[in-house]
């Protein structure tokens, strides 16, 4: 019986390892390819072991860019992506927490219709309303700007809904105690509701940052200048080359670099998550 | 220090439900007033109206000579202790108590003095830096009290503050609250559904039922002279025995009294004596013993009366018709199934009109 258990465990672990390999192998390939010589890759003779061009490729990728297609240093693309993702994540959280606060804690005419209106926008993602949104952004002269990249994506029904659900679990007595303690609506929001929402905000930040970072269609549409390009758009442009060889090591290096910030955010915020989850008590 | 006066206070919810139907109560300076009643009787609503957390539909709420109907809770000079304590979970004990003072722009040094003094009184000094979740139920309760005390308000409001504690702690905290209130001499209004808490804490007891005040007064006076059958059966445990005076057996014994016909007779369990004699002017009843409960210092005898009893006024804690509880001291009790006679003297009889709404003097 005991031996049986042992064998079963090995089998289980073996299957898990296969799963990990399936997920990790493409990432490994990307990393390896980014250190190889382009000619080798183009010939289909790529080794599965890391090549010797690590520093040179990454230096060129970050500070110079491809010699053919985009010629834009990826460092700059990353900065653009980072600014956009941060603006989207922070903006979404700020807007939605305020609107959720209004909907949950204030009685005003058409409160429920307004809530449903926000709710309905869930069914209208960027792709559906892309033409009118483009028109508005263009008319506001926000093409090729950070504002144009981030603003149209900031309003978020999902986040509003999430905060609304959370606020509704906060006991009414806390609000009443605050009122007796002389805290007005702003004070209550700032002193009580915001600290209590910390965990939710952290969770949302992770999700929204990655969502913002991975935007492709919208940045593709509204940025025309190379120096406003985001990394996701940049990768695509690097691959399509008209009369030259695709510079695969640089493409792969860019892909690896594009992975880093989301990974970093998840790793760093995960700690905050767990701590928040353990501490939360209403 | 202040009086709290409620003048014909009413509350009707937008749906048309009348939660409070005209309440008049006068709580003197430094007095401890307890609102007691079954759940849904409006006692919490009334307290929340005094706090300013519910709007007032009609009448006046007067705190310290000022009508506060339209005054914000923070400006009424009250402090409230909630049933679930409502401590700010992300603030330390110190900050929980200091928060209200800071919002009022008090100097930090003064805040420190007040919080530390309150912490000393409530034995919270070693845990000022802890968060509420690191405290036990009793400690949280004390923090909630501390938050009220540091404000030095005109009135304390308590909304069932002990109902989340276990039985032992509840009794200990009950005594503590009473001592504290005596020492601070602050007018207090306390809501509870526990009649024992109500009896032990109150200077003035307000018994409520269905949004109305059934009786106001000194707790012992209410116990001795309940104004209605509702009060009679709500105050006192086990509840008062209530029976119709219509059956010949009782009517004949009450001959000449106002309630002899179509009234209700009430006798408290402890006023019965097991005896073969009938005291002059008193009432004697033959019973068959159905059950015995020995609690140590006293014993409760559950008996059933011979003839089927007509149902009288529906009230909480009411006994099934025909059942009588008799409290006798010690542990000596008749055997189950035994036929006994119990009697009560004239002075211990409570007589009510047939609908139970009016007390009649014997």
What is the residue whose two structure tokens read 């890759």? Answer: A41
Write the pLDDT tens digit of every residue in B204-256.
Answer: 999 999 999 999 999 999 999 999 999 998 998 888 998 888 777 787 788 77
Q: Which residue has the higher pLDDT, B77 or B253?
A: B77
DSSP string over B128-179: TTS-GGGS-HHHHHHHHHHHHHHT--SEEEEESTTTTS-HHHHHHHHHHHHH
Angle at B294 between CA B317 and CA B199, to 5 degrees: 45
Q: Which residue of B has its CA nearest to A196?
A: B90
**A112 interfaces chain B, CB cutoff of 8 Å:** no
A152 by Cβ neighbours in 10 Å (0-12 / 13-18 / 19+) ranks as: buried
Query: Residue A126 corresponds to which tokens in the numbers above?
Result: 């960027």
Sign of the torsion angle spanned by Cα atoms A177, A183, A188, A190: negative
Does residue B104 register a pLDDT over 70? yes
Could you give the 3-state DSSP secondary structure of residue A109?
coil
Provide φ and ψ at B356, rounded to 5°: 80, 5
Tell me the shortest Cα–Cα distance from B311 to chain A, in angstroms. Answer: 42
Write the pLDDT tens digit of every residue in B157-174.
Answer: 999 999 888 888 899 889
Q: Which residue of B has its CA nearest to A199?
A: B90
pLDDT, residue A81, reads 94
Asked if the bond preceding B238 is cis, omega within 30° of 0, the reply is: yes
Task: Provide mean pLDDT across the span B309-325.
Answer: 61
Residues of A in contact with B51 (CB under 8 A): 176, 180
Most A CBs within 10 Å, among B51, B78, B81, B82, to test the A interface: B82
Residues of B in contact with A183 (CB under 8 A): 74, 99, 103
Return the H-helix or E-strand segment holding B100: helix B93-103
Interface of B with A in 67-126 (CB under 8 A): 72-74, 78-80, 82-84, 86-90, 99-100, 103-104
- Angle, helix A231-239 to helix A74-105, in steps of 10 degrees: 140
Most A CBs within 10 Å, among B48, B87, B89, to test the A interface: B89
Provide φ and ψ at B96, rounded to 5°: -60, -40
What single-letter DSSP state applies at residue A46?
-
CA distances (Å), B320 to each of A41, B274, B350, B359, in order? 93, 21, 19, 22
**A177 interfaces chain B, CB cutoff of 8 Å:** yes
Residues of B in contact with A199 (CB under 8 A): none
Tell me the shortest Cα–Cα distance from B152 to chain A, in angstroms. Answer: 12
Return the H-helix or E-strand segment holding B287: strand B283-294
Picking from A162, A232, A229, the residue whose alpha carbon sits closest to that of residue A197 is: A162
CB B79, CB B148: distance < 8 Å? yes
Most B CBs within 10 Å, among A182, A185, A197, A279, to test the B interface: A182
**A237 interfaces chain B, CB cutoff of 8 Å:** no
What is the residue whose two structure tokens read 């009790």? Answer: B333
- CB within 8 Å of A165: residues ≥ 6 apart: none
pTM for this prediction? 0.81
Of A174, A181, A281, the CB nearest to B133: A281
Torsional class of A35: left (φ above 0), alpha (ψ -120 to 50), beta (otherwise): alpha
The number of C-beta contacts closer than 8 angstroms across A and B is 62
Task: Provide mean pLDDT across the span B141-146.
Answer: 93
Task: Provide mean pLDDT across the span B130-136.
Answer: 92
> ipTM of this predicted complex?
0.82
pLDDT, residue B47, reads 95
Return d(Cα B301, Cα A25) in angstroms, integer.
81
Return d(Cα B221, Cα B275) in angstroms, integer.
28
Tell me the shortest Cα–Cα distance from A86 to chain B, in angstroms. Answer: 27
Residues of B in contact with A282 (CB under 8 A): 89
Angle at A55 between CA A51 and CA A61, to 5 degrees: 105
What is the residue whose two structure tokens read 């179509």? Answer: B262
Write the pLDDT tens digit of every residue in B170-197.
Answer: 998 899 899 999 999 999 999 999 888 9
Of B51, B131, B132, the CB nearest to A180: B51
Does residue B130 register a pLDDT over 90? yes
Residues of B in contact with A187 (CB under 8 A): 103
Return d(Cα B142, Cα B131) in angstroms, integer.
13
Helices and strands (H, E) in chain B, number of each type: 9, 19
CB B360, CB B260: distance < 8 Å? no
CB A41, CB A251: distance < 8 Å? no
Q: Which residue of A has its CA nearest to B147?
A: A181
CB A149, CB A219: distance < 8 Å? yes
pLDDT, residue A45, reads 79
Interface of A with B in 64-103 (CB under 8 A): none
CA distance from start to end of chain A: 47
Length of chain B measured in residues: 362
Does residue B110 register a pLDDT over 70? yes
CB B242, CB B232: distance < 8 Å? yes
Q: Which residue of B has its CA nearest to A278?
A: B133
Strand B241-244 versus strand B78-81 pairing type = unpaired
CB B183, CB B176: distance < 8 Å? no
Q: Which residue of A has its CA nearest to B82?
A: A173
Lowest mean pLDDT among A40-44, B60-64, B325-329, B339-343: A40-44
**B137 interfaces chain A, CB cutoff of 8 Å:** no
Does residue B145 register a pLDDT over 70? yes
Residues of A in contact with B132 (CB under 8 A): 281
Q: Which residue has the higher pLDDT, B53 or B322?
A: B53
pLDDT, residue B231, reads 93
Query: Residue B198 corresponds to which tokens in the numbers above?
Result: 């109500």
**B179 interfaces chain A, CB cutoff of 8 Å:** no
Q: Which value, to the nearest 10 degrees, does the dihedral of the CA atoms of residues A164, A167, A168, A174 take? A: -160
Q: Which residues of chain A have pLDDT under 70?
A: 1-4, 68-70, 273-282
Could you give the 3-state DSSP secondary structure of residue B301?
strand
Do A179 and B53 count as a contact with CB atoms less than 8 A apart? yes
Write the pLDDT tens digit of every residue in B11-37.
Answer: 999 988 999 999 999 999 999 999 999
pLDDT mean across residues, chain B: 88
Of A171, A180, A198, the CB nearest to B73: A180
Residues of B in contact with A181 (CB under 8 A): 74, 99-100, 103, 147
Residues of B in contact with A198 (CB under 8 A): 90
């Amino acid at each position: 019986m005991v031996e049986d258990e042992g064998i079963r465990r090995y089998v289980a672990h073996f299957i898990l390892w296969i799963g990990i390999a399936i997920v990790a192998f493409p990432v490994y390939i990307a990393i390896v390819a980014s250190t190889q010589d382009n000619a080798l890759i183009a010939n289909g003779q790529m080794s599965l072991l890391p090549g010797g061009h690590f520093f040179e490729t990454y230096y060129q990728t970050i500070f110079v860019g491809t010699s053919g297609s985009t010629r834009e240093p990826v460092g700059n693309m990353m900065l653009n992506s980072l600014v956009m993702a941060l603006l989207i994540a922070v903006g979404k959280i700020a807007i939605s927490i305020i609107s959720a606060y209004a909907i949950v804690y204030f009685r005003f005419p058409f409160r429920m219709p307004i809530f449903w209106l926000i709710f309905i926008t869930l069914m209208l993602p960027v792709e559906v309303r892309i033409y009118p949104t483009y028109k508005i952004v263009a008319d506001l002269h926000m093409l090729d700007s950070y504002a144009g990249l981030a603003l149209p994506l900031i309003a978020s029904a999902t986040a509003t809904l999430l905060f609304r659900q959370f606020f509704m679990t906060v006991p009414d007595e806390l609000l009443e105690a605050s009122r007796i303690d002389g805290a007005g609506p702003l004070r209550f929001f700032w002193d009580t509701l915001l600290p209590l929402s910390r965990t939710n905000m952290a969770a949302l930040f992770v999700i929204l940052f990655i969502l913002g970072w991975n935007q492709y269609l919208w940045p593709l549409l509204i940025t025309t200048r190379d120096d406003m390009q985001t990394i996701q758009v940049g990768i695509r442009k690097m691959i399509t080359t008209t009369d030259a060889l695709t510079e695969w090591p640089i493409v792969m290096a860019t892909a690896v670099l594009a992975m880093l910030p989301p990974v970093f955010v998840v790793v760093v915020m995960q700690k905050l998550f767990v701590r928040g989850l353990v501490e939360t008590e209403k | 220090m202040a009086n709290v006066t409620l003048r014909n206070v009413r509350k009707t919810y937008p749906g048309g439900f009348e939660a409070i139907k005209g309440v008049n109560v006068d709580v003197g300076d430094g007095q401890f007033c307890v609102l007691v009643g079954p759940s849904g009787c409006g006692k919490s609503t009334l307290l929340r109206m005094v706090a300013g957390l519910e709007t007032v539909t009609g009448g006046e709420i007067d705190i310290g000579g000022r009508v506060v109907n339209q005054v914000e809770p923070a400006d009424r000079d009250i402090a409230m202790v909630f049933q679930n304590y409502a401590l700010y979970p992300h603030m330390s004990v110190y900050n929980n108590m200091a928060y209200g003072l800071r919002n009022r722009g008090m100097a930090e040094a003064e805040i420190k003095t007040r919080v530390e003094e309150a912490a000393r009184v409530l034995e919270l000094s070693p845990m000022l830096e802890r968060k509420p979740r690191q405290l036990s139920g009793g400690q949280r309760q004390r923090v909630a009290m501390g938050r009220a005390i540091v404000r030095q308000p005109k009135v304390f409001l308590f909304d069932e503050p002990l109902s989340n504690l276990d039985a032992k702690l509840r009794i200990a905290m009950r005594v503590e609250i009473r001592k504290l209130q005596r020492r601070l001499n602050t007018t207090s209004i306390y809501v509870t559904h526990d009649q024992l808490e109500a009896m032990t804490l109150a200077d003035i007891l307000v018994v409520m039922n269905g949004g109305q005040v059934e009786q106001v007064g000194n707790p012992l006076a209410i116990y001795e002279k309940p104004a209605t059958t509702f009060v009679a059966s709500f105050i006192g445990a086990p509840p008062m025995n209530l029976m119709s005076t219509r059956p010949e057996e009782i009517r004949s014994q009450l001959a000449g009294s106002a309630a002899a016909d179509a009234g209700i007779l009430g006798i408290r369990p402890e006023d019965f004596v097991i005896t073969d004699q009938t005291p002059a002017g008193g009432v004697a009843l033959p019973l068959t013993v159905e059950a015995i409960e020995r609690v140590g210092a006293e014993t409760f005898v559950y008996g059933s009366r011979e003839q089927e009893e007509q149902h009288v006024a529906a009230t909480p804690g009411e006994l099934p018709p025909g059942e009588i509880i008799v409290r006798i001291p010690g542990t000596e009790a008749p055997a189950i199934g035994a036929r006994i006679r119990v009697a009560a003297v004239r002075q211990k009889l409570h007589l009510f009109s047939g609908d139970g709404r009016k007390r009649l003097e014997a």
